[in-house]
């Protein structure tokens, strides 16, 4: 008998509008433990609105959202969810923080700013930096890093809090192609080796489709596809109605 997976996130008939303009309408889908979900769709399709609803930053006008089986209005264990935004918009490159100090903020988020870091906290931070390949640069200033390295530190900051679900909103914006390839491989490792459930918003359909097991096409509505055995143009039609192709990448082979 197949083992029933734990449902991490569940939306049922969720709608939200900005004034009279609908952002998402009657959205129903779920994410199970261990999933790696890629979320695609054109600008203004509702992807970021969905993330804000899941993070409790917006409240749905209709429908219900459950996190780890609990209604979002009653959910308190926000440390179980990590979030990595787009590449450091508003991030002060001159801020005098080291790689280790930036990553340690993930533990303060878990333990509270007033609490002094324990030995276990230091161990968790070092593990997170090692996982993302940044431990050797622990004393380097954040502003001295490349865009790809900075994003690895932001991943470490989230991972240090030991979340069960990690949401990433177009984290490779402004990062070069080689760094993007390494970044997606890192996410795949976090999913497969550490069992981290991931939701990744991205416009890089060709690369994302090689890493994820589910693809959420967002265009006010949401259609979820199981693409563990591959992807085709029909799977993309729900989000991009015309002119969408799987664009080849030089840093890896894209599925046909």
Mean local confidence (pLDDT), 209-230: 84
Which residues make beta-bridge pairs with 38?
A: 200, 215
Beta strands in 162-202 (DSSP E): 165-169, 197-201
Compute the distance between CA of residue 113 and CA of residue 37 in angstroms, rounded to an integer. 32
Please tell me the pTM assigned to this model.
0.84
- 230 or 103: whose pLDDT is higher? 103
Q: Are strands 165-169 and 7-18 parallel, antiparallel or unpaired?
A: unpaired
- Name beta bridge partners: 221: 219
d(CA 232, CA 255): 9
pLDDT of 65 over the 90 cut = yes
Ordered domains of the chain (ranges, CATH) = 7-236 (3.40.50.300)
Q: Which two tokens stand for residue 54?
A: 């899941």
Q: What percent of the chain has pLDDT over 70?
A: 80
Task: Residue 220: name the closest of 49, 85, 23, 66 by CA.
Answer: 23
Sheet holding 7-18, edge to edge: 21-32, 7-18, 62-67, 70-71
Q: Which of 131-135, 176-180, 186-190, 245-249 has the lowest mean pLDDT?
A: 245-249
42-53 core/surface letters (b: 16 or more CB in 10 A; e: else): eeebbbbbbbeb
Residue 49: what are its φ and ψ, rounded to 5°?
-60, -40
Q: Going by C-beta distance under 8 Å and a sequence separation of 6 or more, which residues neighbour residue 192?
A: none
d(Cα 220, Cα 41) in Å, to the nearest integer? 9
Residue 253 has what pLDDT? 41
What is the token pair recorded at 239? 């989000």
> What does R_g of the chain's alpha carbons equal in angstroms?
18
**The pLDDT of residue 110 is above 90:** no
Which pLDDT score, from 0 to 100, does residue 140 have? 93
Q: Which residues contact 141 (CB under 8 A, 6 or more apart)?
A: 96, 97, 98, 99
> Whole-angstrom Cα distance, residue 189 to residue 226?
20
16 backbone dihedrals φ, ψ, rounded to 5°: -155, 140
């Amino acid at each position: 008998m197949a083992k029933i997976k734990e449902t991490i996130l569940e939306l049922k008939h969720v709608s939200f509008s900005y004034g009279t303009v609908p952002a998402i309408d009657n959205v129903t889908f779920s994410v199970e433990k261990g999933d790696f979900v890629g979320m695609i769709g054109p600008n203004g399709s509702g992807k970021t609105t969905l993330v804000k609803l899941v993070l409790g930053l917006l409240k749905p006008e209709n429908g219900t959202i459950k996190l780890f089986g609990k209604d979002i209005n009653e959910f308190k264990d926000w440390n179980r969810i990590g979030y990595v935004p787009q590449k450091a918009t508003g991030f002060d490159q001159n801020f005098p923080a080291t790689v280790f100090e930036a990553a340690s903020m993930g533990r303060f988020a878990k333990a509270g700013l007033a609490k002094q870091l324990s030995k276990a906290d230091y161990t968790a931070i070092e593990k997170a930096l090692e996982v993302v390949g940044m431990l050797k640069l622990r004393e380097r200033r954040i502003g001295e890093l490349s865009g790809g390295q900075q994003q690895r530190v932001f991943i470490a900051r989230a991972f240090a809090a030991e979340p069960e679900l990690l949401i990433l909103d177009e984290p490779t914006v402004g990062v070069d192609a080689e760094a993007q390839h390494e970044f997606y491989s890192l996410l795949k490792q976090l999913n497969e080796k550490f069992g981290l459930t991931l939701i990744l918003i991205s416009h890089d359909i060709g690369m994302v489709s090689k890493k994820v097991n589910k693809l959420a096409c967002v265009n006010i509505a949401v259609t979820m596809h199981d693409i563990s055995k591959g992807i085709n143009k029909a799977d993309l039609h729900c989000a991009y109605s015309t002119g969408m192709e799987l664009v080849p990448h030089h840093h890896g082979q894209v599925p046909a």
